[in-house]
């Protein structure tokens, strides 16, 4: 069969003079660039941009889009990341020109619609959290953690209390200790007990007057709701310390439990997870935080405020604020989608989201746990962590092999090797948007992989342009231009 060789880069398909639009000749006299732009601002030569027809460009990006795993094309049970379907309605609404054609330097009087939306979102997020005040500024969950811990630091400084430590369970996301460290605290690890919950004895032993906060993820990263959270909050509050809730798992408890009612004093949201913002490949995200009244004065400035006459404005008059953590209004594109999602679900819909997420995860867990046992918990919340330890021991099939082989079946790999407390971890989160058939197919595929020849699995996937790149090298010394040799393609 004769097959057109598809070059991988637009630069390789470029042909001099090829263009997407052919303009008629100019009917005014040409003027040299130098006559209009100061010489020192002119490049010595035009930039070497590729020259292509519209069809070249359309084919290039259409083909490229189908070589990616994506939520629109594949089941994507990536634990912790909540890769739920991103409703197209949200995309259409967020693309309305009234929103996208705004400029952050516009006068506030001309931004009333935008500010009204953001203000309403602040109120929704406060209500869902059961907390009092919200900042939409942080750019991602991780930055939300950092911002909230800076707020906590400012609060204790104001009270003339020197608190240097933040307690973090060993099952926590790596961003928790990193944020604590960046905010100037010492991160102290709290062990998990045999059930996968906070080891209360270890917590009590490490809780002293130097503790500023305890960062809990509830439900936690093994997919379990920690019922000790009330007692943990009480003990912290008795010592004057704060409870921080990592809200990445809000998908499991929306409308059912409010972090403020669990005793949390501050938290972040991941709207790109919980509220269906499209994400992947590192962005885009947002990380709004919600806090109790006592912490509100320290939130980043500006907040969106509503005056008694119904006008909205950016409130910069916040003398005790930690300052800005991001430019302008926060990541409005992601925040709008969250707003659309919350409005289109409504309170009952949000609760149903959590119920279906939990139901789907439990159904899938019962279908796969005999192949990959689930060490913690008879039931789970919105995700569960299975272990490939016995497959690895008996047949030499590792979590990595399973993840890679799933790609050949058009399924994105679960999160592997996290959390660290489960050996050969496969962290699986189906989300509420998947139908029963998809879950059953996943279980069938997993079973089939467990029976396959281990040697053949070690170099899976077999169907992708790249099979097993050296991941560390790919991140540290990326080859961003293909030099034409098949080896580094
Ligand atoms: C995703 C996640 C984070 C970090 O959030 P980003 O938005 O990716 O910065 C923190 N904690 C947990 C448990 C997470 O799953």
For ligand 1, is residue 80 a contact (CB within 6 Å)? yes
Does any ligand 1 atom lie closer than 6 A to the CB of residue 142? yes
Is residue 340 in contact with ligand 1, taking CB distance under 6 Å? no
Q: From CA 63, how far away is CA 423, in angstroms rounded? A: 38
Distance in angstroms (rounded) separating the CA atoms of residues 52 and 244: 52
pLDDT digits (tens, 9 = 90+) for 252-266: 999 999 999 999 999
Q: pTM for this one?
A: 0.90
Same domain membership, residue 418 and residue 356: yes
7 lies in some domain: no
Q: What is the tens place of the pLDDT at every residue in 348-402?
A: 999 999 999 999 999 999 999 999 999 999 999 999 999 999 999 999 999 999 9
13 found inside a domain: no
**Could you tell me if residue 84 is left (phi over 0), alpha (psi between -120 and 50 degrees) or otherwise beta?**
beta
pLDDT per residue over 65-101, tens digit each? 887 788 989 999 999 999 999 999 999 998 999 898 9
Residue 270 lies in a domain: yes
Residue with CA closest to ligand 1 atom 15: 80
Q: Indicate if 278 and 408 belong to the same structural domain.
A: no
Most informative mutation of 168, 173, 275 for ligand 1 (most atoms within 8 A of CB):
173
Q: What is the dihedral of CA 387, 393, 396, 401, to 10 degrees?
A: 10
Average pLDDT, the chain: 93
> How many domains is the chain built from?
2
In the structure encoding, which two tokens stand for residue 414, read together? Answer: 């679960």
Q: Is the CB of 229 under 6 A from ligand 1?
A: no
Q: Does 159 share its domain with 254?
A: yes
Contact at 8 Å (CB) between 159 and 186? Answer: no
Q: How confident is the model at residue 48 (pLDDT cuts 50, 70, 90)?
A: confident
Q: Is 140 in the pocket of ligand 1 (CB under 6 A)?
A: yes
- Is residue 315 domain-shared with residue 363, that is, in the same domain? no
Ligand 1 pocket mutation, candidates 168, 270, 272, 283, criterion most atoms within 8 A of CB? 270
Higher pLDDT, 474 or 314: 314
Distance in Å, CA 53 to ligand 1 centroid: 41
Give the range of the structural domain holding residue 414, as residue numbers without chain letter: 346-476
Is position 244 within any domain? yes
Is the residue at 254 inside a domain?
yes
Indicate whether 4 belongs to any domain: no
- Domain C-terminal end among 317, 344, 371: 344
Q: What is the pLDDT of residue 397?
A: 97
Q: 373 lies in a domain?
A: yes
Instruction: Round to whole Å and give the CA distance between 46 and 358.
Output: 56
Considering the chain, what percentage of its residues have pLDDT values greater than 90? 82
Per-residue model confidence (pLDDT) at position 282: 65
Round to whole Å and give the CA distance between 228 and 231. 5
CATH number of domain containing 249:
3.40.640.10
The band of 133, judged by pLDDT with boundaries at 50, 70 and 90, is: very high
Q: For residues 134 and 31, what is the distance between their CA atoms, to the nearest angstrom?
A: 54
Ligand 1 centroid to residue 127 C-alpha, Å: 21
The verdict on the CB of residue 332 being under 6 Å from ligand 1 is no
pLDDT of residue 329: 83
């Amino acid at each position: 069969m004769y097959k057109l060789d598809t070059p991988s880069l637009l630069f390789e398909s470029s042909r001099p003079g090829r263009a997407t639009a052919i303009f008629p000749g100019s009917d005014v006299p040409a003027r040299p660039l130098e006559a209009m732009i100061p010489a020192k601002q002119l490049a010595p030569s035009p930039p070497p941009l590729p020259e292509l027809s519209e069809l070249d460009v359309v084919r290039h990006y259409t083909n490229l889009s189908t070589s990616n795993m994506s939520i629109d094309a594949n089941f994507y049970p990536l634990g912790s990341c909540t890769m739920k379907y991103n409703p197209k309605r949200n995309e259409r609404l967020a693309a309305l020109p009234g929103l996208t054609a705004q400029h952050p330097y516009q006068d506030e009087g001309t931004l009333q619609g935008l500010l009204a939306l953001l203000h309403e979102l602040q109120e929704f997020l406060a209500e869902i959290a059961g907390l009092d005040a919200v900042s939409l500024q942080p750019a991602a969950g991780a930055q939300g953690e950092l911002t909230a811990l800076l707020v906590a630091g400012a609060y204790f400084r104001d009270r003339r209390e020197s608190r240097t430590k933040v307690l973090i369970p060993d099952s926590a996301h790596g961003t928790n200790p990193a944020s604590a460290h960046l905010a100037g605290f010492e991160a102290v690890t709290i062990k998990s007990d045999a059930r996968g919950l906070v080891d209360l004895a270890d917590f009590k032993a490490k809780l002293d007057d130097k503790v500023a906060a305890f960062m809990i993820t509830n439900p936690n990263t093994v997919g379990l709701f920690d019922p000790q959270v009330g007692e943990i909050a009480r003990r912290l509050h008795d010592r004057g310390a704060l409870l921080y809730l990592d809200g990445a798992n809000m998908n499991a408890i929306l409308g059912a439990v409010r972090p403020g009612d669990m005793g949390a004093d501050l938290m972040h949201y991941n709207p790109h997870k919980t509220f269906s913002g499209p994400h992947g490949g590192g962005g885009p995200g947002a990380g709004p935080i919600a806090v109790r009244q006592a912490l509100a004065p320290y939130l980043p400035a500006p907040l969106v405020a509503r005056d008694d006459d119904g006008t909205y404005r950016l409130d910069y008059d916040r003398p005790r604020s930690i300052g800005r953590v991001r430019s302008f209004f926060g990541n409005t594109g992601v925040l709008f989608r969250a707003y659309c999602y919350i409005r289109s679900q409504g309170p009952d819909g949000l609760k149903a989201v959590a119920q279906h997420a939990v139901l789907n995860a439990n159904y899938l867990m019962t279908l796969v746990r005999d192949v990959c046992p689930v060490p913690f918990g008879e039931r789970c919340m919105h995700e569960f962590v299975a272990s490939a330890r016995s497959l690895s021991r008996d047949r030499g099939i590792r979590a990595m092999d399973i993840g890679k082989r799933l790609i050949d079946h058009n399924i994105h790999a679960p999160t592997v090797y996290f959390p660290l407390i489960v050996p050969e971890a496969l962290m699986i989160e189906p989300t509420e948007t998947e139908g029963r058939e998809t879950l059953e197919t996943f279980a069938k595929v997993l079973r089939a992989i467990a029976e396959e020849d281990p040697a053949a699995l070690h170099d899976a996937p077999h169907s992708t342009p790249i099979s097993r790149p050296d991941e560390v090298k790919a991140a540290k010394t990326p080859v961003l231009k293909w030099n034409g040799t098949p080896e580094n393609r």
